[in-house]
């Protein structure tokens, strides 16, 4: 398809973010050629210069030991604060509303201690059917902890018959329908399986109107789509950092708590000494006094070595700018959709279940392959294209704007096209 190739070359030539690709390590195939890495929704690539901050931390440990907690640059005692400006930009928050800590599941439990406060009248939690296990298991265990059964206390919103994604009107109607018994509304920003981006602002407004808290799992959203968590009045949000934030496998997650709870000492929480008032922290006195803002939910000091890598990755994203990344992402994903449709015009082999509207999706397109989908995934892998398989029949493809190119998307089209019709 010469027209597609010409378009890919043109878009790459005029890409204002093209220089960022050179700042990442791209995995190589057996022949030493770069693989086409479309797996940002599971693990982002390693920034080459992340080792600068890691080496700085290692050198300080080597030469200063415990004094590294206090000495410049970037003293460890306040190291988590080094990430706040970047996180605030990425999430649309105030610096006192965001912090890097723990992992997603731990943070979700910590947030639910404070924001899932069931009463005999209001004890139910609403989430999407088929939620990622991080959410499912946390919610199940929380409702059981409070003496309820998941069958009674959990309300799931399902797609309509014959559809793969949720309708916003159905979510809002469901919230209204259960407004008298809802304690918490918990949804993803981007649904991991379908790639659908939900309207966080409208869901939050509906939850508050119903008298419930609104929380979000942003594992597939943060660093993918620009957010305005403060403006949207979200109560809390949690995320991991190893997908679109490129912070490395299993690195620290993060949490957001809205400013209106910054000094809410009456909120129940599982306290830790690092969340205690900083000026009194080392006095070792009884009586927990939470720090102002989300920092009051911290349990312990951060892992400096892993956080140093995350710090660099976050600063790179903030430098590129979420608006700029989003604009390229929309173009990349639209071109990917165009290429898939060119390879399979009648959707006989591959069906895109991710919404077509750009405002309802991020980087990811989820391809439903009803027949021999795993085999297609394996053939793509053999051809040097790294995607992601999700049972029972979905291949997730996620070209990311920091390091993927339009020419790579075109190459994906060529391989997909030849693979689909190899036996014909």
Decide if pLDDT at 424 tops 80.
Answer: no
How far is 371 from 357, CA to CA, in rounded Å? 26
- 351 pairs with which residues across the strands? 368
**Structural domains in the chain plus CATH codes:** 2-34+321-420 (3.90.1150.10), 54-319 (3.40.640.10)
Decide if pLDDT at 423 tops 60.
Answer: no
pTM of the model: 0.96
236-239 β-sheet, strand order: 98-100, 254-257, 236-239, 213-217, 182-188, 124-128, 154-157
Decide if pLDDT at 262 tops 70.
Answer: yes
How far from chain centre, in Å, is Cα 325? 15
pLDDT bucket at 41, cuts 50 / 70 / 90 = very high
Mean pLDDT across the stretch 274-288? 93
Cβ count near 32 (within 10 Å): 6
* Element housing 385 (H / E): strand 385-386
Decide if pLDDT at 410 tops 80.
Answer: yes
How far is 165 from 168, CA to CA, in rounded Å? 10
Average pLDDT, the chain: 96
Q: How many CA atoms lie within 13 A of 38 on its CB side?
A: 34
- Which pLDDT value is given to residue 372? 86
pLDDT bucket at 265, cuts 50 / 70 / 90 = confident
Residue 322 preceded by cis peptide, ω within 30:
no
What is each CA distance from 160 to 39, 190, 263, in whole angstroms?
A: 29, 18, 42
Q: How many CA atoms lie within 13 A of 218 on its CB side?
A: 32
What percent of the chain clears pLDDT 70, i.e. is strictly above it? 99
């Amino acid at each position: 398809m010469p027209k597609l190739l010409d378009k890919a070359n043109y878009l790459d030539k005029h890409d204002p973010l093209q220089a960022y690709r050179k700042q990442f390590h791209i995995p190589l195939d057996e022949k030493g050629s770069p693989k086409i890495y479309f797996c940002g929704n599971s693990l982002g690539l390693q920034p080459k210069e992340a080792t600068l901050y890691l080496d700085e931390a290692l050198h300080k440990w080597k030469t200063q030991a415990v004094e590294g907690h206090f000495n410049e640059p970037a003293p460890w005692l306040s190291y988590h604060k080094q990430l706040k400006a970047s996180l605030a930009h990425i999430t649309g928050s105030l610096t006192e509303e965001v912090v890097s800590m723990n992992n997603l599941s731990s943070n979700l439990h910590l947030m639910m201690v404070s924001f899932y406060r069931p009463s005999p009248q209001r004890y139910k939690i609403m989430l999407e059917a088929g939620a990622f296990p991080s959410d499912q298991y946390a919610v199940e265990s929380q409702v059981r902890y409070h003496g309820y059964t998941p069958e009674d206390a959990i309300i799931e919103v399902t797609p309509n018959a014959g559809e793969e994604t949720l309708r916003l009107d159905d979510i809002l109607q469901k919230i209204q329908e259960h407004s008298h018994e809802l304690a918490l509304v918990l949804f993803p920003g981007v649904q991991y399986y379908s790639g659908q981006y939900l309207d966080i602002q409208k869901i939050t407004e509906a939850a508050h109107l119903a008298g419930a808290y609104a929380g979000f799992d942003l594992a597939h959203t943060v660093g993918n789509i620009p957010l305005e968590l403060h403006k949207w009045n979200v109560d809390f949000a949690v995320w991991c950092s190893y997908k679109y934030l490129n912070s490395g496998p299993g690195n620290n997650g993060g949490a957001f708590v809205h400013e209106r709870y910054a000094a809410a000492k009456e909120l129940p929480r599982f306290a830790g000494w690092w969340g205690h008032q900083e000026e009194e922290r080392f006095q070792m006195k009884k009586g927990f006094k939470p720090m102002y803002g989300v920092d009051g939910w911290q349990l312990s000091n951060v892992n400096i070595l892993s956080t140093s890598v995350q710090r660099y990755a976050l600063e790179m994203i903030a430098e590129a700018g979420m608006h700029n990344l989003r604009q390229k992402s929309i173009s990349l994903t639209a071109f990917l959709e165009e290429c898939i449709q060119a390879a399979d015009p009648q959707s006989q082999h591959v069906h895109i279940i991710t919404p077509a509207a750009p405002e309802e999706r991020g980087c990811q397109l989820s391809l439903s392959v009803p027949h021999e989908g795993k085999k297609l995934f394996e053939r793509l892998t053999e051809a040097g294209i790294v995607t992601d398989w999700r049972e029972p029949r979905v291949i997730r493809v996620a070209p990311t704007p920091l390091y993927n190119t339009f020419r790579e998307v075109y190459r994906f089209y060529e391989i997909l096209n030849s693979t689909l019709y190899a036996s014909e």
